[in-house]
């Protein structure tokens, strides 16, 4: 559609809005590399990725019991179920504390973030409010107790943690269920759609149709989530405890 993403501010979510489409349809993508523009014609197909993995982080000085880590790369419709399975496995291995590593998580599907947050919250807890331009609010809350309401929980975020990942982080932080460590998150709390320009003209316009608000009605967009504890975020993705 002639939409450009060359300002360094676009997230994967922004690009996905444009390139997603019906399975089997085609989309043209132009990539600039080493000063040269390369044209690709891509056929859309379902993408299966492993967005969740877990591992035992061992013992941490000053922490009572072993620490299990769940790294979530992005959110999809199956993320919550996978996180649930990983949590159960970590507990069988002796984990008494859990770290959710959301570093570099650009978001993904909002329901995936909401459902994952719900695993750790009691019933009737607010998770996110989605407000449109008219102020009409869609309040999303938990409708049953989650599977883990007591295990000590830390969420590790960085400047690239965005969108649905920020929604989940804020839900657990503001419901006093988790401590957030790392650095200020990205700050993408809006819902956008791409509208084409007049017929026959290339290009489109990104239109904001709604915004996310946290359980305490804070606006995430361009502000991000303020961490409870500032820590280093540059440790290896396979050793989140080194950042804490």
CB atoms within 10 A of CB 29: 12
> What CA–CA distance (Å, rounded) separates 91 from 54?
11
Residue of 51, 118, 163, 185 marked catalytic? 163
Nearest Cα to Cα of residue 220 among 157, 178, 177: 157
List the structure tokens of 67.
């620490």
Distances (CA, A) of 207 to 132, 192, 194, 195, 226: 12, 5, 6, 7, 27
Q: Which residue has the tokens 């657990």?
A: 172
Judge whether 176 and 122 are in contact, CB under 8 Å.
no
Residue of 51, 188, 201, 222 marked catalytic? 188
User: Is residue 144 flagged as an active site residue?
Assistant: no
For residue 229, give every residue at least 6 positions away whose Cβ sits within 8 Å of its Cβ, in sequence order, or none.
Answer: 179, 180, 181
User: Is residue 188 flagged as an active site residue?
Assistant: yes
Sign of CA dihedral 74, 187, 19, 6: negative
Question: Which active-site residues does the annotation give?
Answer: 163, 188
């Amino acid at each position: 559609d002639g939409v450009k993403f060359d300002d360094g501010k676009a997230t994967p979510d922004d690009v996905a809005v444009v390139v997603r489409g019906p399975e089997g349809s085609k989309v043209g993508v132009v990539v600039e590399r080493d000063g040269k523009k390369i044209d690709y014609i891509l056929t859309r197909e379902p993408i299966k990725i492993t967005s969740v993995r877990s591992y035992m982080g061992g013992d941490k000085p000053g922490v009572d019991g072993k620490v299990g880590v769940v790294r979530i790369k992005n959110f999809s419709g199956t993320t919550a179920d996978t996180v649930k399975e990983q949590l159960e496995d970590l507990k069988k291995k002796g984990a008494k504390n859990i770290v959710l590593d959301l570093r570099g998580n650009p978001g993904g599907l909002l329901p995936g973030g909401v459902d994952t947050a719900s695993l750790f919250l009691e019933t009737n807890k607010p998770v996110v409010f989605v407000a449109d331009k008219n102020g009409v609010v869609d309040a999303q809350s938990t409708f049953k107790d989650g599977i883990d309401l007591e295990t000590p929980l830390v969420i590790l975020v960085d400047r690239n943690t965005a969108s649905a990942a920020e929604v989940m982080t804020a839900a657990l932080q503001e419901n006093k269920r988790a401590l957030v460590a790392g650095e200020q998150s990205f700050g993408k709390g809006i819902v956008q759609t791409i509208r084409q320009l007049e017929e026959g003209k290339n290009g489109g316009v990104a239109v904001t149709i709604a915004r996310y608000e946290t359980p305490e009605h804070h606006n995430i967009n361009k502000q991000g989530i303020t961490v409870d504890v500032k820590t280093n975020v540059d440790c290896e993705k396979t050793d989140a405890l080194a950042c804490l």
